[in-house]
Structure 1
């Protein structure tokens, strides 16, 4: 009997399925303490704004606490200022018992904040997609992983904020769509990050003239083609060249990562290509999409963002986390 149990355990270890957790988190302005590089005024180090070694360390520890709770295999990050800030976060995580051996950041364009990732798994390559040459658009980070012989492409996004019209987000979406078409729609592809777009952006922005300068067309819904698959993952039908937004695979009340003026929004999204729904190779695990809505991430009815005073000279209070909640999903690797 013992021999049989040992054989079963060995078989599972060698040939059993494994679980891959992928997450995305806008960490809200993780600036380093270096004097070089463009920074927002309140993040200039060692000034009256109180952005110094003490507050920086608190920010790192707080963000590390959240990431450790997620414990993803691959976590996409937005609003990281520099490679130094990414390394400092990685070191803080290691001090807290979570080690990410692999990492990358889109730092070729000197925007104030950038996208990055931390990973427990090695990647084949990581490179940047230039949306435009101007600083109005952040580069997209493209990375390829090979997991148990399966290729997986991950694209980390941080599209233009709602301070700009939808036409600006469409520019980023078209860059993404063009690159995906080059790779092929039959590949395992994950698009994730802060799209500054609700999963049904085409509905909520129609009456907002400031945003709707595209005659009702949106980057996330029309360019990335998420309009047809609006059911639970187990019920969706194959739609060639479409992406499936995982928010549809959980209850509507749970579909949010941001709160603006008391209204919940899903600005952070995880979209997957059709092969990740076919239960072969790498595949999405039904009903696994979720935000991290722990009590400590809220202050009253709002997300407990990093606290900066609104005085004439903004000052960091050394409290809070981020204005976004992390979003995560699980995948089965055969």
Structure 2
């Protein structure tokens, strides 16, 4: 089921000058960032227990948290983006507060949010340009996917914002839900095959999940695997790091490209291990030498978001310290010369 949705933040809420034209139009930049439970100060009934209004979690604490997240999104190594994709925001009110208090002055005025019925957290897509259309694709028993289509001078760009099921729970059951997300995106993306398509967000799965797993089907499968074709036929994303191998049903994965030199082993760190959960997948139009082309992909690790060992400084609600247990990841598209 597809639900069209678009929301506008009124600029007069901001009460500040607008810095909307500072970004060069030679790039199209997309950032994905799991902000780790960015909750508001209201009692809605779906929030996690520790975020119910109390002496420790209140309006002041909420505003401090918004400011810290905004500092990350405004970090110098990120600059101005065209699209921000966030995971684990509570609701549309949180996004509106984030923009009104901090980001609208930078031109971020359009946004959409979506969450699973009864869920505690939403996925958000924020942009500086009004999308031509925005759809929410429902995923059975899992978080919905937001699709936004942008009409640019260099052609259409379709961005799919995802937050796949986590690894918590029975491995077979959680993988089945990640596969449902992949099937939903693949089906929707097939209708935009003349667009440059970027699927981004927290996939809760590493690009090499199949080779590191038990042999069962995974939502991500490298095209070099002998299981790639049957898995792709039944919903998996076929992924490759070889630019010349990206074709109609195979997606480019920057994390698999040996030409990319990431300074960190992943974007998040759990149980003593790095993971590359926060990903971008792109279709063949990244390399067709027309319009927008792939430029770079980077994990952004500001020092104020990092522990001494360069792992992410996770948010701790009890002490109101830290930022997020994920780092943001930035994709830059460049204009064809």
Which whole-Å CA distance do the structure 1 matches of 2:285 and 2:41 have between them? 43
Q: Which of 113, 123, 126 is the matching residue for 1:105? A: 113
Deviations 1:9-43 (A, max 9, x none): xxxxxxx9711111100011111122224110001
- Could you say which residue in structure 2 is the equivalent of 1:24? 32
Which whole-Å CA distance do the structure 1 matches of 2:263 and 2:177 have between them? 29
The two structures, once aligned, show a CA RMSD in angstroms of 2.0
1:173 Cα deviation (Å)? 1.1
CA contact (8 A) 1:293 1:325 kept: yes
Relative contact order, CA 8 A, sep 6+: which one is greater? 1
1:248 Cα deviation (Å)? 2.6
> Which aligned pairs between 1:78-227 and structure 2 lie closer than 5 A?
78-94=87-103, 98-107=106-115, 109-132=117-140, 134=141, 137-148=142-153, 150-164=155-169, 165=171, 166-184=175-193, 186-206=194-214, 215-221=215-221, 222=231, 223-227=235-239
Which whole-Å CA distance do the structure 2 matches of 1:333 and 1:273 have between them? 16
Q: Which of 66, 76, 98 is the matching residue for 1:60? A: 66
Which whole-Å CA distance do the structure 2 matches of 1:192 and 1:131 have between them? 16
Unmatched segments (≥5 aa) in structure 1: 1-15, 207-214, 309-314
Q: Which of 261, 276, 280 is the matching residue for 1:251? A: 261
Decide whether aligned partners of structure 1 residues 181 and 326 sit closer, same or farther in structure 2, where only a CA change above 3 A counts: same
- Could you say which residue in structure 2 is the equivalent of 1:283? 293
Which whole-Å CA distance do the structure 1 matches of 2:25 and 2:325 have between them? 35
CA contact (8 A) 2:99 2:108 kept: yes
Which whole-Å CA distance do the structure 2 matches of 1:238 and 1:245 have between them? 9
TM-score (norm 1): 0.81
- Could you say which residue in structure 1 is the equivalent of 2:19? none
1:253 Cα deviation (Å)? 5.5
Decide whether aligned partners of structure 1 residues 281 and 323 sit closer, same or farther in structure 2, where only a CA change above 3 A counts: same
- Could you say which residue in structure 2 is the equivalent of 1:330? 332
Unmatched segments (≥5 aa) in structure 2: 1-23, 222-230
Deviations 1:221-267 (A, max 9, x none): 2444434x233x4xx33432111112234236534110012211101
Q: Which of 241, 260, 283 is the matching residue for 1:230? A: 241
TM-score (norm 2): 0.81
Describe the SS at the equivalent of 2:220: helix
- Could you say which residue in structure 2 is the equivalent of 1:7? none
Which whole-Å CA distance do the structure 1 matches of 2:68 and 2:160 have between them? 26
Decide whether aligned partners of structure 1 residues 238 and 139 sit closer, same or farther in structure 2, where only a CA change above 3 A counts: closer
Larger Rg: 1
- Could you say which residue in structure 1 is the equivalent of 2:14? none
CA contact (8 A) 1:17 1:332 kept: no
Which whole-Å CA distance do the structure 2 matches of 1:238 and 1:86 have between them? 35
Deviations 1:185-240 (A, max 9, x none): x431100000001111112223xxxxxxxx4321122444434x233x4xx33432
CA contact (8 A) 1:126 1:143 kept: yes
Which whole-Å CA distance do the structure 1 matches of 2:148 and 2:316 have between them? 33
Which whole-Å CA distance do the structure 1 matches of 2:273 and 2:282 have between them? 26
> Which aligned pairs between 1:239-318 and structure 2 lie closer than 5 A?
239-249=247-257, 250-251=260-261, 254-285=264-295, 288-301=296-309, 302-308=311-317, 315=318, 317-318=319-320
Deviations 1:92-143 (A, max 9, x none): 3238x533021111157342101111111110111211001x4xx1111111
Decide whether aligned partners of structure 1 residues 98 and 110 sit closer, same or farther in structure 2, where only a CA change above 3 A counts: farther
